[in-house]
């Protein structure tokens, strides 16, 4: 049985999977840093990449579906309407992450 989806959904899934896999790889390497320091390091290695993938896939899929990119390439990020919606969201997420990193070190 073949599932038929629209071109918009297909492209959003494709971009979401690419970004999700990059986030999962980063989550895996981040989790490797806990080996030996934390007794539950195996849990981090299993859940870190999976949760990173799920978070980033869902965020990018929703944004790519709402504002479809012109191509599937991640090197050319030209989303229609991106300067009013997508980039402010990404800026807020980046600032929030920086805030959490700075204050978790204290």
**pLDDT over threshold 60, residue 90:** yes
pLDDT tens digits, one per residue of 47-62: 888 888 998 899 888 8
Distance CA 32, CA 71 (A): 34
Q: Does residue 80 have a pLDDT over 70?
A: no
Q: Which domain holds residue 21?
A: 7-80
Q: Within a domain: residue 37?
A: yes
Is residue 58 domain-resident?
yes
Q: Does some domain include residue 70?
A: yes
Residue 1 lies in a domain: no
Residue partners of 12: CB distance under 8 A and separation at least 6: 60, 61, 64, 65, 68
Report if residue 2 sits inside a domain.
no
Name the pLDDT band for 2 (thresholds 50, 70, 90).
confident
65 domain-assigned: yes
Number of domains in the chain: 1
Is the predicted pLDDT of residue 75 greater than 60, yes or no?
A: no
Residue 39 lies in a domain: yes
Domain assignment of residue 26, yes or no? yes
């Amino acid at each position: 049985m073949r599932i038929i989806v629209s071109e918009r959904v297909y492209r959003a899934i494709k971009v979401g999977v690419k970004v999700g896999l990059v986030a999962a790889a980063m989550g895996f390497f981040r989790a490797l840093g806990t080996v030996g320091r934390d007794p539950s390091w195996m849990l981090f290695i299993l859940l870190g990449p999976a949760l990173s993938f799920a978070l980033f896939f869902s965020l990018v899929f929703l944004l790519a579906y709402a504002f479809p990119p012109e191509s599937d390439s991640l090197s050319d990020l030209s989303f229609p309407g991106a300067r009013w919606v997508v980039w402010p969201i990404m800026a807020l997420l980046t600032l929030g992450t920086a805030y959490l990193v700075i204050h978790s070190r204290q």
